[in-house]
Chain A
């Protein structure tokens, strides 16, 4: 079996790490301040460093920092890079090409010149960093007639609610901050907070374009959020749990052997859940504000929609966090329907170190998971750069007249098959 790199979970690893570090410091202090010496009171500090609540607090802080850095920096940049590179190729051009050799200062410029490296023909991963730096240098303008407090609250609300998703969203069994019993509910709730921020931003900017954009976000919310949740309800008939890790575990079972290849019982391989999957894909695309449904910021008619009045890094934050939401959305689809991190079964290397056997996964769970997320995201990018944008009344039509009946049908079928499937010869 392949295994996870982060195991048993992120918090425990951090606790082990911080306990080790603190133990070294504590031991050093204890050795430096023996009983009876003038610095004996320092021993109190040594005992404090090994207090359990202190270690736990630090472990949580480190776990959260690791997760935020991983998701909001590394994964965000990767998602942006994937999108920009891929749609450039769709449009018959190279796309971003800034590489480390493009940096205009020592030692990179010196080395590039010396080795005669092409400076602007790299992979382009650093372009997004460069854009971020540029946005940081720009002035933050608050419109004179804007509702200043609300105008400044909205980016915080949107950014924090997006980061909040990653408190419960797992990258593998262990790579998660909080494994709550109802984590799916938490994720979906955090997801749907952002339109509130959009509405606030649209109103507070005191601009007609942003107001229309904000109102559109509110109107659109109804159209996609309901089918999204109804599709999840259909899924719960099968999963029987609101915990995302349980949902993935449920999908690891063997469905059928296709020759030598085992097909796992992913949720998408069943009749009602496939309908739910289709509904969920469309709804999550609206949730991410990707192109067929990016009506709140339709740049053709609304300049930049609800984002119009934001500038500098505040704009960068709002704009960049769209990709973080795209990451969370793709990850959610992968977890709910595509088997999460359970990849094809690969043998682990089990070298014996002394008496203990350490299993080392060849392709760990985290890699499988990211691979699926990236591939799914590529699909989203592909769709969104090959279709025009729908109109606000059309997305309401799609939501209310197509997606909701379909998701209700999925619930009906799921309930029927969950109850009678085994009796009907294992139809799922």
Chain B
């Protein structure tokens, strides 16, 4: 049979968002692939130049609506470095808690999306069921379920609500039990292993050369976690273990799945420790309206390395903002993962990569 191109997107159940994966297939085997992105481009870097520093947090929230807090936090961190202010310890700890809550919610959304990708609709509803609990926690903390607008330059929007530690402890305890259920639904299923193991492999050298970061790079066996390597906030005081694929011969869908899945439990650990260590004091420092200089911050986002580079020229709005999106770089490497696999593996691979179109197209 002749080879032909198949559009998987922009309106397609495989794409979680608005983008197009063009796949060239020979029978069922993929011979080539070309991601086509930009459908959701909103010109973030330009819009941010005409808004005040503090008001930009509203925009960065919408970079990835599944993990708003991590993105706003990266922006706030860059601005703080530019303005040369330090966040009070309590604010830093609250940030750590909210970041990890957001990471769990984001990973659960990924897990929920990965289920129907493989034909397992039950996984979707189970993961969304527990995501609801973490959204409740975030709502308790910030007042909103999505686009929380929570991190602010100089700290966070508000203090911890009363009894927040008890709610956190209760929900993380419940969640750990549910993780065992997921384990039975996903890892113990022979068909799940058949669909993920050895599929969409990318070598460590390729992954580094193409700029793959975060859980996708850790799945190749490299221990890179910015929370460890370049600790921001109070991550160096927390005892946690970056989830790296240790089985050797990683870089496939299964390794990526395992890294993300184990991060769920690791984030629970961080929350439990952080909630005990929150000191009393102020949660927010006064940030100047106008600033001059350069701020550069990179953080471990749910999907990889998020980077913000902000330049101020003495005005009350940034002169230039640069955003590095982890998914944007990972997307460039997906043809490498796809080639040689079967057509049904497209969903297995792209699902494990965890695409968020909002941040990819900026």
A-side interface size class = 20 to 34
Q: Does B185 contact A (CB under 8 A)?
A: yes
A90 & B122 in contact (Cβ 8 Å cutoff): yes
Q: Which residue of the partner chain A has the closest CB to B186?
A: A388
Task: Provide the A280-308 mask, 1 if CB < 8 A to any CB of B, else 0.
Answer: 00000000000110110011110100000
Task: Select the stretch in A41-49, A103-111, A225-233, A389-397 that faces chain B.
Answer: A389-397
From 174 to 192 in chain A, residues with beta carbon under 8 angstroms from any chain B beta carbon are: none
B-side interface size class = 20 to 34
Q: Which of B28, B195, B344, B346 has the most CB atoms of chain A within a 10 A radius of its CB? A: B344
B344 & A388 in contact (Cβ 8 Å cutoff): no
Q: Which residue of the partner chain A has the closest CB to B192?
A: A388
Chain A nearest CB, measured from B264 CB (Å): 19
A394 & B126 in contact (Cβ 8 Å cutoff): no
Q: Does A356 contact B (CB under 8 A)?
A: no
B120 & A388 in contact (Cβ 8 Å cutoff): yes
Known: A90-B122, A91-B122. A390 touches B13 (CB 8 A): no
8 Å CB contact of B122 from A301, A385, A394: A385
8 Å CB contact of A386 from B14, B122, B346: B122
A303 & B13 in contact (Cβ 8 Å cutoff): yes
Chain B nearest CB, measured from A309 CB (Å): 14
Contacts of A292 in B (CB 8 A): 119, 191
B8 & A301 in contact (Cβ 8 Å cutoff): yes
B185 & A91 in contact (Cβ 8 Å cutoff): no
Contacts of B189 in A (CB 8 A): 386-388
Task: Provide the B181-197 mask, 1 if CB < 8 A to any CB of A, else 0.
Answer: 00001000101101100
B117 & A300 in contact (Cβ 8 Å cutoff): yes
A386 & B185 in contact (Cβ 8 Å cutoff): yes
B126 & A91 in contact (Cβ 8 Å cutoff): yes
B6 & A388 in contact (Cβ 8 Å cutoff): no
Q: Which residue of the partner chain B has the closest CB to A292?
A: B191
Contacts of A90 in B (CB 8 A): 122
Contacts of B119 in A (CB 8 A): 291-292, 294, 298-300, 387-389
Known: A303-B13, A388-B192, A392-B28. A212 touches B122 (CB 8 A): no
Contacts of A208 in B (CB 8 A): 4, 6
B121 & A301 in contact (Cβ 8 Å cutoff): no
A390 & B6 in contact (Cβ 8 Å cutoff): no
- Given A301-B346, A389-B191, list of 17 further CB < 8 A pairs? A91-B121, A91-B126, A212-B28, A212-B343, A298-B119, A299-B119, A300-B117, A300-B118, A385-B121, A385-B122, A387-B119, A387-B120, A387-B192, A388-B191, A391-B195, A392-B28, A393-B342
